[in-house]
Amino acid sequence: RFKAQVAELFDLLKAGKINPRVSQRYTLEEGREAIAVLENRQAMGKVVVEMIG
């Protein structure tokens, strides 16, 4: 079920039917900073940690 839901989410993204608000992007090396932003409630949208540079 989870796999189907993720696939549906990606389909909606590709179709432009949803547009998540990204507050900040971090590299994997900056992961601790990203967690601190979440813990301190400083994000005004999604916090993205990019796994591949």
Per-residue confidence (pLDDT) for residue 53, from 0 to 100 = 58
Q: What is the pTM of this model?
A: 0.65
Per-residue confidence (pLDDT) for residue 47, from 0 to 100 = 97
Per-residue confidence (pLDDT) for residue 52, from 0 to 100 = 82
Following CA atoms 36, 38, 44, 47 in sequence, which dihedral angle do they give, to the nearest 10 degrees? 90
Question: How many other C-beta atoms are found inside a 10 Å radius of the C-beta of residue 51?
Answer: 8
Average pLDDT for 40-48 = 95
% the chain with pLDDT above 90: 94
**What is the chain's percent helix, strand, coil content, to nearest 5?**
45, 20, 30
% the chain with pLDDT above 70: 98
Which tokens belong to 3?
A: 């796999």
Where are the domains positioned within the chain?
19-53
